[in-house]
Amino acid sequence: MTAQLESLKRNFPDVTEAQWAKLEQLTEYFKEWNERINLVSRKDIEAFEVHHLMHAMSLSKVVKFEPRCRVLDVGTGGGLPGLPLAILFPQVKFYLLDSIAKKINAVKDMAERLELKNVEVVHKRAEELESSFHYVLGRAVTSLPTFLGWTSKNLREGGEPEQPYGVLYFKGTLYKEELESMGLEPFKLHALDTVLDEPYFADKFLIHLDSANVKAKAVMPEPVKQQPKPETKKKKKRKRANSRWGD
């Protein structure tokens, strides 16, 4: 057993043997795909089990999803945190969203090989998604004001007083100034180094924002204007020729 796998098992003693088997398969498939496309940096893949798998799984330490709830993972990239969480919460429906086709193809392949019936892969931009969900996840996708602007329309309100529906976002210390700029306070802030015994998780947090407050404060960001492509020499030459002949 590798040191990273040993750390995973020490930090998550309640994970079943069947779940560990799938998590180990996921690690194998992820590393295979990372050889073909850049899901995470080539340097960081060596620490995949702690830096990525454990990071995704940490949510299960502090959040308990009710059966049959709908969870959206925005900007899933290589399927993180959605795929590990789908293994840990088999009664929950996960929707893994990304706008990059090659990454979505990788996630779809891994989900199928893992036989995860509770995963649906969606190739779409977050701004274009219309469905609603109990929880929306993100893992350092973009700034919080932008992320919340994209996803506030997809949030359902409600849940339990101790765990309302809303956004669950993995972020470093920059969360403070980003939320202050919106006048938002977290419903709950989970410091990951208090639930995991790996020094890597110092200054890493899981931020829980309740739907009602997000909907009241979030603003859809302005769409990015596409810059016109510079004219090629051939096109400029054609324009000059046309003007010479009065076209």
pLDDT over 80 at 35, yes or no:
yes
Give the mean pLDDT of 1-18: 95
pLDDT over 70 at 45, yes or no:
yes
Place of tokens 């849940």: 159
Per-residue model confidence as pLDDT tens digits over 144-159 = 999 999 999 999 999 9
Burial class from Cβ neighbours inside 10 Å (0-12, 13-18, 19+) for residue 7 reads middle
Bridge partners, residue 54, by sequence = none
Per-residue model confidence as pLDDT tens digits over 10-31 = 999 999 999 999 999 999 999 9
Give the mean pLDDT of 188-213: 98
pLDDT over 90 at 229, yes or no:
no
Q: Which amino acid is at 211?
A: S
Confidence tier at 225 by pLDDT (50, 70, 90): low
Q: In angstroms, rounded to a whole number, what is the distance separating the alpha carbons of residues 58 and 52? A: 10
pLDDT over 80 at 67, yes or no:
yes
Q: Give the containing element (helix H, strand E) for 188.
A: strand 188-191
SS3 content of the chain, % helix, strand, coil (to 5): 45, 15, 35
pLDDT over 50 at 247, yes or no:
no
Give the mean pLDDT of 192-210: 97
Helix, strand, or coil (residue 133): strand
Confidence tier at 238 by pLDDT (50, 70, 90): low
- Who's near 184: CB < 8 A, 6+ residues apart? 148, 209, 213, 214, 217
CATH superfamily of the 3-223 domain: Vaccinia Virus protein VP39 (3.40.50.150)
Burial class from Cβ neighbours inside 10 Å (0-12, 13-18, 19+) for residue 117 reads exposed
Give the angle 68-57-59 at the CA atoms, nearest 5°.
65
pTM for this predicted structure: 0.89
pLDDT over 90 at 240, yes or no:
no
Per-residue model confidence as pLDDT tens digits over 77-124 = 999 999 999 999 999 999 999 999 999 999 999 999 999 999 999 999
Q: Give buried/exposed letters for 69-80 (b at 16+ CB in 10 A, else e).
A: bbbbbbbbbbbb
pLDDT of residue 227: 57
